[in-house]
Amino acid sequence: MQEKQNKSLKNKAAIGIFDSGLGGLTVMSAITKLMPKENIIYFGDTAHVPYGSKSKKVVTNFALGISKFLVRHNVKLIVVACNTASAFSLETLKKYIKVPVIGVIEAGSVMAAENTKNKKIAVIGTEGTIKSDAYAKEIKKHDKKIKCFSRACPLFVPLVEEGWLDNKVTEQIIKIYLNDIVNKDIDTVILGCTHYPLLKNTIQKVVGKKISIIDSATAVAFEVQKLLKEQNLTNSTGKGSLAFFVSDSPEKFQKLGSKFFNKKIINVTKVEI
């Protein structure tokens, strides 16, 4: 009887998700749509956004602190919904955190490798993600013949955080960043940052309809579902609860977060890590 109760508690334990700010809410949205009964705890490190311009050591320290915070809330799984943190700190987290940890890069790489027809893929992301070459390494694992082009787009995150998604200034900035990439005859673009899906329509307008845009959020959601099933940790009872924590500006997170999450966000709690 006791063993059955313990098992039930593990199944009901929350999925922990974290990002440098708002972008990881796109991953959270995909997970809630696929697994509406799962409880989820989200942490946005809004005091330190963006991660993309910071060093590997600094980002890893942030990621470890946040992961320990989530573990204290008895999560059964952690999703690193930040490409920079996935590139810089995933292996360290897997070493020191006692629950399974999933990053966003592998899932997006597999999806892109399966999508490309001419074996030419572009990756756009923060400076940290692009310098790590993490996507190219993952893509090469699946198909060594694929040629990868990359472009750091450091202004995209602040544009999204400010809610500048589809105005003329944003479109012009996207053109400046991506014109040389489009001229490489690519057929697939990976959005290598969880903030970028909110710019997807404008990016598509700039690169043209013939180029496919890969958003790894859905792929990560399926990976989470698969892992929970394999470990018999799926929650099959009740309606999933959602909790939101940030390291700064809960009011701004609550206001802008609804655009990322496609639902109204309430009860955002500020905490210090």
Tell me the per-residue pLDDT of 69-122, one tens digit each, with 9 for 90 and over. Answer: 999 999 999 999 999 999 999 999 999 999 999 999 998 999 999 999 999 999
Report d(CA 146, CA 118) in Å as an integer: 8
- Tell which CATH classification among 3.90.25.10, 3.40.50.2300, 3.30.930.10, 3.40.50.1860 matches the domain 106-216: 3.40.50.1860
Tell me if residue 193 is catalytic: yes
Q: 273: pLDDT confidence band, cut at 50, 70 and 90?
A: confident
Long-range contacts of 199-204 (CB under 8 A, 24+ apart): 199/156, 199/159, 199/160, 199/165, 199/170, 199/174, 201/165, 201/166, 202/165, 202/166, 202/170, 202/171, 202/174, 203/174, 203/178
Count CB neighbours of 121 within 10 A: 27
Specify the pLDDT at position 266.
87
Q: Would you say domain 2-103+218-270 falls under CATH 3.40.50.150?
A: no
Listed by start position, the domains of the chain span 2-103+218-270, 106-216
Q: 2: pLDDT confidence band, cut at 50, 70 and 90?
A: very low
- Predicted confidence (pLDDT) at residue 263 exceeds the cutoff of 90: no
Tell me if residue 148 is catalytic: no
Paired tokens of 264: 């109204």
- CB–CB of 160/196 below 8 Å? yes
Q: 8: pLDDT confidence band, cut at 50, 70 and 90?
A: low
- 41, 75, 82, 228: the catalytic one is 82
Q: 6: pLDDT confidence band, cut at 50, 70 and 90?
A: low
Identical fold for domains 2-103+218-270 and 106-216, yes or no, is: yes
- 173, 193, 213, 224: the catalytic one is 193
Per DSSP, helices labelled H in 116-162 are 127-132, 134-142, 156-161
